[in-house]
């Protein structure tokens, strides 16, 4: 059965109903209202579940926050609220902190609802959090009405709803466990506002579990445990459960081929046309559109507004975007998907270096070329002599690389690459957001003999949650991957995986 929001809500409702019946018939002293008890359990279990699947991968939520911060920056910078815009790039630097805080806050708030702890405070906190989520999902959904190049606050220029208009295509409500359409996410949060206001106005009817001291002890211990758990899933190791497309054991080559074939089979069934002069919009089936091309021509003011296509048989994932290039823009994706044997991919979605320009002196030498005949009438010889040596100043950019980040490459990646090379196994380093100059400067200073490639930073973040992260490929499949802090020695990898 396909997991959807409906199945999650039904499952949550069943759990809440069972707990409500147990509370109402077995623990009658703590029970005051059937509706309130069910609402507490339903929202509490939902928040604990949605928070936990995000706690498995805190970096995923942090990356989602960065997307929101970037979108807010571009939304506000050309408006009356432009003074707010500079705040968002600064918030990007603390996205991981906000991620961990929000995840733990959501889980703890769910536990407080289940136990009925501090009913008035909990009710208001729940309303504020749901209101915040509603704002985010509402913004995401409404950007579907904002055409490319139009600011969100230019309401008069809004058009028809198009999913392709949205810069943030998923709210991240359940992390990578399940992807929700922004419209569905928004409606879900609007629905949760009902129990949120119910709690605020009727919080005195909340049931309570345990004594006051026990409730505080549970919350305290849970908070500490959740902090350690979140840290373990990004700071010390990769997530113990991987909900992303590039999980260990995935045949990326096969899946990418199937997704591309499914996309190629998509048919254009209708054309939506718009007349620039009258503003009239018509939708024509494909056969009718081509039969009436002269009527709906550009000369008559018509243009194609949208193609109506069939849904692909296989929904595309991030694997469809798996695209690796060298720094001359040559496609090298085949090295991972088509090449036989093992291949170590070193992933670094961001390079941590500060550029610094400096002036160097370059000497240019001009030569005189003469042709002379030899005494014995053999072939003439060409003789070069220096005519002039001139000096000129040239601006070059050097990078000061973050010492810890560079140490990871020199201490972990370099020994791995050298050992692998002795066994005939290729290693490549893939950077996100890098220029050719950055890659050349890094390769010179890191002294790692490897192929250097580039890819989209979001793709690299999806592949492995570590910077650098190590991925072992074989015949287009992901055999294993490691966090930089959990990297085994090459000999350990060789004995366990390289056979």
**Tens digit of pLDDT for each residue in 115-145?**
999 999 999 999 999 999 999 899 989 999 9
DSSP-based helix, strand, coil % in the chain, nearest 5? 50, 20, 30
372 pLDDT above the threshold of 90: no
- Judging by DSSP bridges, how do beta strands 353-372 and 477-483 pair with one another? unpaired
Mean local confidence (pLDDT), 349-367: 79
% of the chain exceeding 70 in pLDDT: 93
Mean local confidence (pLDDT), 472-489: 96
| 256-310: pLDDT as tens digits | 999 999 999 999 999 999 888 888 888 899 999 898 888 888 888 898 888 899 9
Q: What is the pLDDT of residue 275?
A: 87
Cα distances (angstroms) measured from residue 366 to each of 363, 389, 392: 10, 6, 13
CB 218 within 8 A of CB 170: no
**What are 303's strand-pairing partners?**
274
Q: What is the pLDDT of residue 93?
A: 87
Torsion of CA 209, 211, 217, 219, to 10 degrees: 30
333 pLDDT above the threshold of 60: yes
1 pLDDT above the threshold of 60: no
Q: What is the pLDDT of residue 435?
A: 93
**Distance in angstroms (rounded) separating the CA atoms of residues 75 and 461:** 25
Average pLDDT value over all residues in the chain: 90
437 pLDDT above the threshold of 80: yes
For 247, list phi and psi in degrees, rounded to 5: -75, 160
381 pLDDT above the threshold of 80: no
Which of 123-127, 362-366, 436-440 is the most confident on average? Answer: 123-127
Q: What is the pLDDT of residue 365?
A: 67
Cα distances (angstroms) measured from residue 125 to each of 27, 43, 129, 277, 479: 27, 13, 6, 51, 44
The answer to whether the peptide bond before residue 468 is cis (omega within 30 degrees of 0) is: yes
**Residues 6+ positions from 237 with CB-CB distance below 8 Å:** 483, 485, 486
Torsion of CA 38, 41, 42, 47, to 10 degrees: 160
CB 126 within 8 A of CB 51: no
Mean local confidence (pLDDT), 70-75: 88
Tokens representing residue 320 in the block = 């469809």
Closest CA to 452 of 474, 472, 437: 437
182 pLDDT above the threshold of 90: no
DSSP-derived secondary structure for 292-346: TTTTT-GGGTEEEEEEEEPPPSS---GGGG---EETT--B-THHHHT--SEEEEE
Q: What is the pLDDT of residue 18?
A: 96
**What are 331's strand-pairing partners?**
325
**Distance in angstroms (rounded) separating the CA atoms of residues 217 and 190:** 33
Rg (CA), the chain: 30
Q: What is the pLDDT of residue 80?
A: 84
Q: What is the pLDDT of residue 170?
A: 82
**Distance in angstroms (rounded) separating the CA atoms of residues 428 and 416:** 11
Question: Angle at CA 58, nearest 5°, toward 56 and 63?
Answer: 135
Sign of CA dihedral 452, 250, 180, 37: negative
**Distance in angstroms (rounded) separating the CA atoms of residues 428 and 446:** 14
Instruction: Tell me the three state secondary structure of residue 278.
Output: coil
Predicted model pTM: 0.86
Q: What is the pLDDT of residue 281?
A: 87
149 pLDDT above the threshold of 60: yes
374 pLDDT above the threshold of 60: no
State in Å, rounded, how far the first CA of the chain is from the last one.
Answer: 37
**Distance in angstroms (rounded) separating the CA atoms of residues 273 and 308:** 11
Sign of CA dihedral 452, 456, 461, 464: negative
Q: Higher pLDDT residue, 364 or 145? A: 145
Q: Higher pLDDT residue, 364 or 491? A: 491
Tokens representing residue 241 in the block = 């459960």
**Distance in angstroms (rounded) separating the CA atoms of residues 246 and 68:** 24
Farthest-apart Cα atoms in the chain, separation: 121
For 118, list phi and psi in degrees, rounded to 5: 45, 65
Q: Higher pLDDT residue, 278 or 103? A: 103
Closest CA to 186 of 126, 142, 155: 142
Mean local confidence (pLDDT), 390-414: 88
Q: What is the pLDDT of residue 164?
A: 81
* Number of Cβ within a 10 Å radius of residue 92: 16
337 pLDDT above the threshold of 70: yes
Among 148-157, 204-213, 415-424, 487-496, name the one with the lowest average pLDDT.
Answer: 148-157
**What are 245's strand-pairing partners?**
none
Q: What is the pLDDT of residue 15?
A: 96
């Amino acid at each position: 059965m396909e997991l959807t929001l409906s199945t999650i809500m039904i499952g949550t409702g069943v759990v809440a109903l069972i707990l409500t019946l147990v509370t109402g018939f077995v623990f009658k002293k703590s029970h005051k209202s059937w509706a309130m008890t069910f609402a507490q359990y339903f929202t509490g279990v939902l928040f604990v579940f949605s928070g936990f699947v995000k706690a498995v991968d805190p970096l995923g939520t942090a990356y989602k926050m960065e997307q929101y911060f970037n979108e807010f920056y571009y939304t506000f910078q050309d408006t009356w609220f432009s003074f707010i815009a500079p705040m968002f790039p600064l918030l990007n630097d603390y996205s991981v902190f906000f991620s961990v805080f929000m995840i733990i806050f959501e889980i703890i708030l769910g536990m407080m609802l289940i136990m009925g702890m501090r009913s008035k405070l909990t009710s208001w906190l729940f309303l504020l959090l749901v209101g915040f989520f509603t704002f985010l999902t509402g913004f995401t959904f409404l950007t579907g009405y904002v055409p490319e190049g139009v600011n969100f606050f230019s309401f008069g220029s809004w058009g028809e709803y198009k999913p392709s208009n949205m810069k943030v295509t998923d709210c991240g409500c359940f992390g990578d466990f399940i992807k929700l359409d922004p419209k569905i996410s928004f409606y879900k949060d609007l629905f949760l506002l009902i129990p949120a206001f119910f709690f605020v106005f009727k919080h005195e009817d909340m049931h309570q579990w345990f004594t006051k001291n026990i409730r505080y002890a549970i919350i305290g211990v849970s908070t500490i445990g959740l902090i350690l758990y979140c840290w373990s899933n990004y700071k010390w190791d990769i997530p113990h459960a991987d909900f992303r497309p590039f999980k260990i054991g995935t045949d990326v080559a096969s899946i990418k081929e199937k997704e591309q074939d499914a996309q190629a089979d998509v048919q254009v069934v209708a054309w939506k046309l718009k007349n620039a002069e009258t503003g009239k919009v018509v939708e024509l089936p494909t056969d009718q559109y081509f039969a009436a091309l002269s009527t709906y021509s550009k000369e008559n003011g018509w243009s194609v507004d949208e193609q109506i296509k069939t849904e692909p048989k296989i929904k595309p994932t991030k694997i469809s975007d798996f695209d690796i290039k060298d720094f001359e823009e040559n496609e090298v994706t085949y090295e991972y998907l088509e090449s036989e044997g093992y291949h170590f991919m070193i992933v670094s979605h961001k390079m941590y270096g500060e550029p610094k320009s400096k002036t160097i002196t370059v000497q240019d030498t001009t030569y005189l070329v003469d042709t002379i005949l030899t005494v014995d009438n053999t072939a003439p010889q060409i003789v070069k002599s220096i005519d002039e040596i001139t000096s000129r100043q040239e601006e070059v950019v050097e990078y000061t690389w973050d010492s810890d980040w560079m140490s990871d490459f020199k201490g972990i990646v370099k020994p791995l690459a050298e050992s692998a090379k002795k066994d005939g196994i290729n290693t490549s380093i893939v950077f996100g957001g890098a220029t050719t100059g950055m890659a050349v400067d890094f390769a010179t200073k890191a002294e790692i003999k490897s192929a250097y490639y580039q890819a989209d930073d979001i793709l690299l973040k999806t592949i492995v949650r570590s910077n650098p992260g190590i991925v072992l490929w074989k015949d287009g499949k992901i055999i294993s991957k490691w966090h930089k802090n959990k990297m085994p020695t090459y000999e350990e990898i060789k004995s366990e995986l390289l056979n």
